[in-house]
Amino acid sequence: MQELLPIMVVVAGIAAVAVIVLGVISVRSERNLAEERLGRFIDDNNTFSSFLDEPEEEEKPKKEERRALEAIDRAIANRPFAKRWRQQLARADLKLTVAEYAALHVVSVIGFFAVAWFILFRGDLIMSIVAGFIGLFFPRIYVSRATSKRLIRFEQQLPDTLGLWVNALRSGFSVLQAMEAISRDAPEPTATEFRRVVQEVQLGIDVEDALEHLLARVESEDLDLVVTAVNIQREVGGNLAEILETISHTIRERVKLKGEIRVLTSQGRMTGWLISLLPIAVALFLSVVQPGFMNPMFENRMCGWPMLGVGLALIGLGMAAIQKIVNIDI
């Protein structure tokens, strides 16, 4: 029973941290950009505060925690890494601040180290440190994957979105009204992105700037073509419906060709991931089956460290070469 006590403590701690993180994400996902800015405006003018901002007793600890996170967020807001993180979170559509994202890195490192120390490698310090180092990159890998999946869905929906835009313009809608119709009728993530554009314009931001913000959140060459066409039409005039219809046909063919290329290169991409991860998986398996088996590689600086460095470098070069081969620009 005493041997199981540390494991139970670690599992309970990880579960508590997971509940807190999920609670923060769920709370922030319920507040969109317009509600946040409107809330700041109401707080600054002390208007309707008795109806909207009257805190209950059980909400005070949560507000104090939120103030602490906001203080950390303000302290690192102007740092270069904070700007990059903010852009990455926006592209992945994760309702997290930079401070919360930094806290997730810390939680991930502690969680990976604890699981490796108490469960997987059972007291192996070196492998637990390696696991903690891997945990440092886990949130970034998750955000990168979420961004990639979201971008693929957006690009696949873009031809139908342009078709809806063209029909709305031909029905007599303005550009902003057409985007509002897209935000109501289009599937996710297209609806969310166009809803943000409409909200920004309603808050006083220029249409061109709102579209540039959309392009910053969704880094797509097809969307860049659409935004450029809309901006040019606003400056020189012309039939925007016909322009968007032509672009829609071009993008539809490009999406179809990208899908065919993705299918044809799937075997190469899977081979690259398999070859790259197989040595690491074998090393982890041996460390789990026989704790301490890989320790001489880390302890011997004259031979073990160069071998590890050369091996990781060759794995990275091979993975990069395979990805370069299968990544075909259209």
Q: For 180-207, give the DSSP string.
A: HHHHHHSPTTHHHHHHHHHHHHHTT--H
Domain borders along the chain are 4-146, 151-264, 266-326
- Top pLDDT among 28 and 136 is at 136
Asked if 151 contacts 140 with a C-beta cutoff of 8 angstroms, the reply is no
pLDDT-derived band of residue 309, with 50, 70 and 90 as boundaries?
A: confident
Let me know: does 275 contact 317? Beta carbons within 8 Å.
no
Q: Under a CB-based contact definition with an 8 Å cutoff, are residues 10 and 115 in contact?
A: yes
Lowest mean pLDDT among 33-37, 99-103, 116-120, 151-155: 33-37
Q: Over the stretch 209-222, which tens digit does the pLDDT of each residue have?
A: 999 999 888 888 88
Q: What is the mean pLDDT of the chain?
A: 78
CA nearest 176: which of 158, 195, 161?
195
Sign of the alpha-carbon dihedral angle for 80, 86, 89, 94: positive
For position 42, what pLDDT does the model report?
A: 35
Give the pLDDT confidence of 222-278 residue by residue, as tens digits: 899 899 988 888 888 778 888 889 998 888 888 888 888 888 888 888 888 888 888
pLDDT digits 0-9 by tens, 61-77:
566 666 766 777 777 77
* 173 DSSP 8-state letter: -
Predicted TM-score of the model (pTM):
0.69
Looking at residue 198, its pLDDT comes to 92
How many residues in the chain?
330
List, in order, residues 6 or more apart from 194 with CB less than 8 Å away. 161, 179, 180, 182, 183, 186, 214
CATH class of domain segment(s) 151-264: mainly alpha
pLDDT value, residue 233 = 86
HSE of 276, CA atoms in CB hemisphere, 13 A: 18
pLDDT of residue 25: 47
Does residue 18 have a pLDDT over 60? no
